């Protein structure tokens, strides 16, 4: 059993499913999904305990585990690469950032979106760099998720690391082609300034 902060994961269980990744097709996907479940259980749900701007989340994977998982990186099925990105987000921690950065540029938009989500969970400056690139993705949903993640990671933070994020978000707020992404950037900037996102209108509207 490995304890990382408040979490406990069954390392034998991880290794058992990692070993099954040598299979192809549906069996490999199944093994990845089981690893994902372990991550979900380990993280709990009330408190996500994700990484922050400068401190990436811990990894639950041994170097051997990680190496075996990365073999799925070249899998031709997008669904497998996507599932791998999800697993790395749940279990991989800082050791998975470089792989996830590659997946955030995958030809398949679904893979990119899950990779962006995974980077957002892990955090750290290297992840922020990849998220900043993803904030210019072709896909509107991927951009919006990346923008939102940048705002969340930068929330309440101070220091020189925040300025590039602010610049990126400002550019997107002013110039993105999608109103939805521009709105996401506006929200992210508000979060970045550490302001309360929610403001109650001062005047109470008339009854409906």
Partner 1 sequence: MILSDKLRILRLISEQPFEEQEAEVLRRLCQEGGLYTERLIERLGLSQIVLLLSQWHARFRKSLSPVPPRGRGLKPRPTVLCAFTSVLDRVVDQAGLSRLLPWAAGVMGLSPDEFLSRAARRARSGRNAQGGSLSAIVHDLLDVVAAILYFFRRPPALKPTIGNLTLRHQLEAFLAELPPGQLRQVLGGASAVAAEILAELGVEARFYTMYHSPAQARRHGPLARRLELEPGQIAYRPAQRSGTYRAAGLTFDHPTASSIAFVYQAGFTLGNVQADQADGVIFRRAPQNKNEERPWDQIWLHPIRGQAVTLSAPDAEDEWLWLPGFVHWWVEGSILHLAFADEETVRRIAAEHHYLILSGLSPATFAPGEGLAARELAAQMCSLAESGAILHLELGGAASEETIAPLAEAIGGLVPSAGINDNELALLTSLSDFRVPVSPHRSAVFQRYQRAVALAQRLGLQRLYVHGNDVDLILRQNGSPEAMRREIEADLFAKGVVVLAILQRSLEDWPSHAIQLAPVLLWKGFQALIAFTWDLVDQRGQDEALFKELVETGYALADSPEGYAVAVVPVMWPTLPPGIYPGGAGDICSSVSLVYTGF
Tell me which residues touch partner 1 (CB under 8 A): 26, 29-30, 32-33, 36-37, 40, 43, 45-46, 48, 50, 79-80, 82-83, 85-86, 110, 113-114, 117, 120, 141, 144-145, 152, 179-180, 183, 187, 197-201, 203-208
Smallest gap from residue 147 Cβ to partner 1 (A): 12
DSSP three-state, residue 2: strand
Q: What angle do CA 174, 178, 183 make, to 5 degrees?
A: 60
Shortest separation between residue 51's beta carbon and partner 1, angstroms? 13
Q: Closer to partner 1 by CB, 43 or 173: give it.
A: 43
CB of 21 to partner 1, least distance (A): 13
* Beta carbon nearer to partner 1, 55 or 163: 55
- Estimate the share of the chain in helix, then strand, then coil, as percent rounded to the nearest 5: 65, 5, 30
Distance (Å) of CA 161 to CA 18, 67, 73, 118: 36, 30, 30, 20
CB nearer to partner 1: give 163 or 199.
199
25/175 with CB nearer partner 1: 25
For residue 145, give both structure tokens.
Answer: 């998720």
Q: Which is nearer to partner 1, 114 or 192 (CB)?
A: 114
Asked if residues 97 and 127 have their Cβ atoms less than 8 Å apart, the reply is yes
Using the structure block, give the residue that is written with the tokens 């590039």: 164
The residues that bridge with 9 in the sheet, in sequence order, are 2
Q: What SS3 class is residue 9?
A: strand
The least CB distance from residue 30 to partner 1, in Å, is 7
**Smallest separation, CB 67 to partner 1 (Å):** 21
């Amino acid at each position: 059993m490995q304890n990382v902060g408040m979490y406990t994961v069954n390392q034998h269980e991880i290794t058992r499913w990692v070993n099954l990744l040598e299979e192809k097709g549906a069996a490999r996907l199944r093994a990845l999904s089981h690893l994902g479940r372990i991550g979900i259980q380990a993280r709990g749900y009330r408190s996500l305990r994700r990484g922050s701007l400068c401190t990436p989340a811990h990894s639950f994977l041994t170097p051997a585990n990680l190496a075996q998982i990365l073999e799925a990186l070249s899998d031709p099925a997008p669904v497998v690469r996507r599932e791998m990105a999800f697993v790395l987000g749940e279990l991989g921690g800082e050791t998975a950032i470089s792989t996830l950065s590659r997946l955030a540029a995958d030809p398949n938009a679904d893979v990119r979106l899950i990779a962006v989500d995974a980077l957002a969970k892990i955090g750290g400056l290297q992840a922020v760099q990849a998220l900043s690139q993803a904030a210019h993705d072709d896909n509107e949903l991927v951009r919006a998720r990346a923008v939102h993640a940048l705002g969340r990671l930068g929330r309440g933070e101070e220091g020189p690391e925040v300025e590039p994020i602010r610049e990126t978000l400002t550019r997107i707020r002013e110039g993105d082609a999608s109103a939805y992404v521009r709105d996401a950037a506006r929200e992210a900037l508000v979060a970045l300034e550490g302001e309360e996102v929610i403001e109650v209108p001062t005047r109470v509207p008339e009854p409906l």
